[in-house]
Every structure is written in structure tokens, then in C-alpha cells.
Amino acid sequence: MDRLGLIQVYTGNGKGKTTAALGLALRAIGQGLKVCMVQFMKGDESYGEIRAAKLLPDFTILQVGRNDFVNLNSPDTIDVTLAKKGWEIAKNCISSGKYDIVILDEINVAMACGLLDTEQVIEFLTAKPRTVEIILTGRYASEAVQNIAQLVTEMREIRHPYHQGVPSRSGIEY
């Protein structure tokens, strides 16, 4: 099997970070790999990926947030608590040996707004098992996070239908 164990970062203000990670997950599952996605700051079971994961036996999605927006400038205590709980879950998934790929969805935002300590996340990820591929998604990936990654992709918004009054669409944005 090809070597796993790299760290990838999908960041930027454009749409498509989670979608890219989901595409990678689908490709990996098609090649017999086991994938876990831990979704920080998300708690809505109606997302399309939650429904789809139930149809794929080698794909687990764990949501560790609430179904509400997080105030990034002044997060509620519950958001900090849920993020820290999610980080413990994520570390267990990474260390368990059960998964080939672990996606940490929106973890960059969680670190940027102080829900998680960036240094602690980096310390753990740089000492993680070398056979687990890690994907970090979300806006605001710090330079320190980007520096530990072997792949960094920045999504850049050029145009988005939201700005023309088109609301979020089922199956497209969620």
C-alpha cells in the first residue's frame, strides 16, 4: 500500500474545503481505506454527508458541536467545552489504529477563535502515528499549522451565489 501519514490542510475563504475532504474520503473508501471525520462546531444531522456516511460502512462522521453558529469573537462556554471534547475524540480516533484517514473538519476555525489550543494540536499531530493521514479543514489555518503540513490548499472565493441572494442549498452547501 502507498504510504499514508501525511498532514493536509484545506483552508481559505472560498467554498469547498469540507467538500474536498469528503471527496478524498470517498476516493479512499473506494480503495478499501477506513475514514473518520470529526466535525468541529457542527451539530446538524441533516447535512448530506451525515446521511451518506450511514450508507458507507468504512466512513464514520462524528459531530462535536451544536446546531448553531459560534460567535468567533466571543465563543460561548459550551462551544469551548464541545471543541475540547471533540479534540479528545479526535485524538482517540487518530491513535486507535481503526482509521487510515482522520479528517478534522473546521478545526482550523476552532483553533483560530480559541476553542482549541493550536500548540497542543500541533504537538499531538507531529507525534501522531505515521500511518494515519490527517486532513485539517476550515478557514484561518495558522502559519504554524501550515508549516507542519505536507500539502496546503487554499480555496479562494471569486464569486459565490450567496452574494446574489441565493440561500444555502440542500445537497450543495450542506
12-52 confidence digits (pLDDT tens): 999 999 999 999 999 999 999 999 999 999 999 999 999 99
HSE (side-chain half, CA atoms, 13 Å) at 118: 15
Listed in sequence order, the DSSP H helices in the chain are 17-30, 48-53, 77-95, 107-112, 118-126, 143-148
What's the pTM value of the predicted model, to 2 decimals?
0.94
Residue 2 pLDDT > 70: no
| CA separation for the pair 127, 38 (Å, rounded) | 19
pLDDT at 3: 73
For the chain, percent of residues with pLDDT exceeding 90: 88
Domains of the chain by range and CATH?
9-137 (3.40.50.300)
Residue 125 pLDDT > 90: yes
pLDDT at 129: 78
